[in-house]
Amino acid sequence: MTPLDWSIVLLYTAVILAIGNHMRKRIRSAGAFLLGERKLGTPMMIASTFAGGVNANNPISVASNTYTSGLSGMWLSLAFVLATPIYWMWPPVLRRLRVVTLIDFLRMRFGRGMEWVQMVSYLVVVPFTFGVGMKAAAMLVIAVAGPGADGSPAFGIHTALALVVLPTLVYTLLGGIVGAYAVDMFQSVLLVFLSFVLLPFMVWTVGGLPEVVARIDAHNPAAWNLLGDSHGVSGLWLLWFTLSLFISAPVVYGGSSGAARNEMAARWAVIGSLGKRFCTIGWGLTGLFAVALFGAPLVSGVKADDVFSLAAVHTLPAGLRGLMVASMLAAAMSTLAGMMLYCSSCLVNNLYKDYLVREASPRHYLLMARVFLVVPILLGWTVAASGLSLVHLVVIVEQISSLMGVCMVAALVWRRVTAAGAVVSICLMSPLFYYGNLQASAWPQGYRWLAERVLDLYRLAGVEPRLEPARLESIRPDLLLPLTTPIYLGTGVLVLILVSLFTRQHDRHAVAEFYARLETPLGDERKLREAGFTADTVESMDQVELNAAAEDRDRSRRLLLLDFLTWPWLVLTRRARLSDYWIDFAGIAGSFLFIAGLLTLIGLLRPLLH
């Protein structure tokens, strides 16, 4: 990179550090550091969802997939748009619960056993979650920095990781969640730039749009098909993947909702998620245009994971390379900051405060919240410096959340579910999930028998899954999802129901408090205290009562997600009115309109570009 490029990177670093330092004066307690005293407005919530949701691995992994598979490779990120309705309904539920972390959710509803199951599983996943973004950003920094005097990369992996991690750690330590989200508002502009800037320069390098389209058609005529060719993604695959996204949504989405000042601020964060799906078009086209720039994957000699970085190196002029590096750093830093804060919340609130130092001052817990920020960074650094491929890391991170999601969704829609049912369900789903992510040749005989029974059910229903028993060994595990997902999800749900019907609640008072919080709109915290419940989990850490302001009272008295199985009956028996759910229904309708519009736009890309 040129001195101009490095100047831009340094300017970007100076700006984010200045923002973090400016927000430092607002941090006086652990609650303010981790949740902004639950006073963050709509703009910050949108920015946090967009910037925090766009990890550095997203453009690189999507471009890698579309380079090898055509536009159908976009489903690695695009599939999440199908879960938009749940992204509208879930955030106000989490805000009403008034918890610090999802571990608080599980402890209150299912007891200490499930709390430890989630804590251990989270600490296992954390290194991979952090490592994905750190590795992706470091790869671009290494590629754009170019070779040194001896021909080897000018930056080693650890130097590149330091460039990503250290500024993030500093501004998050200073400003906490308020500083991180203020930086996100600035970084959002850079992320839009990151998503689309390469396209015009790639077109110019190749020789114009007609030439780009012609070269892509010559290499892969089905490249423009969103479902790929006969060996690509099927509608059945999308159905099961979308179902798993709906189930995992409470685990992977809306973690920042607890910081929102009111229900609508938490809901409108979905706009940031929709912005990410729109940016997916830019990432996908970058990988597809790379076919025209470098040639087909099998003959070009270009590694798919390097496509995005090499396109930047080969096409961007001086100055824009530096801006590209700054944008990629923004993608990594925004996500890392949010994950660091959440991990710190889990460690200080669910481990340190509950089991080590129970009666300390708010300033002490604030200090420990800052100390615990370092833990996930060290774990993620280890994974990022490993030799695991980027797509492999993405698959590990994205799929595991649905295991815990089954229990969390059940807790919301079925009050009879018990802790015993949840624990047994998790214990049975885990090995089934593990086997489902292996090559079919490694399946135990019992698991293969289950897979064949799923195929029999498809045939009985007149559905063609495009999966023949004789070909299973030659198919990638991620494409076997129509077989493997019904096995672990079906088993988990069935066992959860059966065990819950024959066991008791672990703690009737805790379960009653869980549902009392959900039924009590923001602004009515006094009613919870009068009923003998804790109104907000933060209160025990900050030693102060938290009450939502009068202007932040919830607009909707009932939430559709909580009444998902019973709302028709409630309306028919006049215990609820259809208008009670109008905000949920309006958001769902808007979600479907956006999904239809986005998929239509992608389907028209070839005629529009040609």
Other Cβ atoms less than 10 A from the Cβ of 277: the count is: 20
- φ, ψ dihedrals at 187, nearest 5°: -70, -25
Q: How far apart are CA 602 and CA 300, in angstroms?
A: 26
Burial 165-187 (b: 16+ CB within 10 A, else e): bebbbebbbbbbbbbbbbbbbbb
pLDDT in tens, 37-56: 888 899 989 988 888 777 77
Residue with the bigger pLDDT between 59 and 503: it is 503
Burial 222-240 (b: 16+ CB within 10 A, else e): bbbbbbbeeebbbebbbeb
Residue with the bigger pLDDT between 381 and 104: it is 104
What value does the mean pLDDT take over residues 141-168? Answer: 78
Residue with the bigger pLDDT between 601 and 250: it is 601
308: closest CA among 67, 497, 133? 67
Other Cβ atoms less than 10 A from the Cβ of 539: the count is: 16
Q: How far apart are CA 500 and CA 407, in angstroms?
A: 11
CB-hemisphere CA count at 13 Å for 513? 23
Helical ranges in 146-197 per DSSP H: 157-196
What value does the mean pLDDT take over residues 222-239? Answer: 70
What confidence score (pLDDT) does residue 419 get?
95
DSSP 115-152: HHHHHHHHHHHHHHHHHHHHHHHHHHHHHHH-B-TTSS
Answer whether 576's CB lies under 8 Å from 570's CB. yes
What confidence score (pLDDT) does residue 149 get?
65
| 576 dihedral zone (left: phi>0; alpha: psi -120 to 50; beta) | beta
Q: How far apart are CA 219 and CA 212, in angstroms?
A: 11
Q: How far apart are CA 43 and CA 4, in angstroms?
A: 32
Q: Is the dihedral of CA 535, 537, 543, 548 positive or negative?
A: negative
Inform me whether the pLDDT recorded for 230 exceeds 50.
Answer: no
Q: How far apart are CA 386 and CA 393, in angstroms?
A: 11
Domain locations in the chain as residue ranges: 3-98+107-238+259-398, 400-506, 508-565
What value does the mean pLDDT take over residues 402-423? Answer: 91
DSSP 494-547: HHHHHHHHTS--S-HHHHHHHHHHHHS-TT-HHHHHHTT--S-TTHHHHTS---
Dihedral angle at the C-alpha atoms of 333, 334, 338, 344, nearest 10 degrees?
Answer: 20
Burial 463-476 (b: 16+ CB within 10 A, else e): eebbbeeeebeebe
Other Cβ atoms less than 10 A from the Cβ of 381: the count is: 22
Q: Which residues contact 299 (CB under 8 A, 6 or more apart)?
A: none
Answer whether 90's CB lies under 8 Å from 273's CB. no
With cut-offs at 50, 70 and 90, classify the pLDDT of residue 231: very low
Q: How far apart are CA 8 and CA 230, in angstroms?
A: 46
Inform me whether the pLDDT recorded for 403 exceeds 70.
Answer: yes
pLDDT in tens, 440-473: 888 999 999 999 899 989 989 888 777 777 778 8
DSSP 52-70: HH--THHHHHHHHHHHHHG
Inform me whether the pLDDT recorded for 294 exceeds 70.
Answer: yes
Inform me whether the pLDDT recorded for 295 exceeds 70.
Answer: yes
Q: What counts of helices (H) and strands (E) characterise the chain?
A: 30, 0
pLDDT in tens, 57-111: 788 889 988 998 888 888 878 888 988 999 999 999 999 999 988 889 999 999 9
What confidence score (pLDDT) does residue 397 get?
53
Beta bridge partners of 40: 260
Domain boundaries 3-98+107-238+259-398, CATH class:
mainly alpha
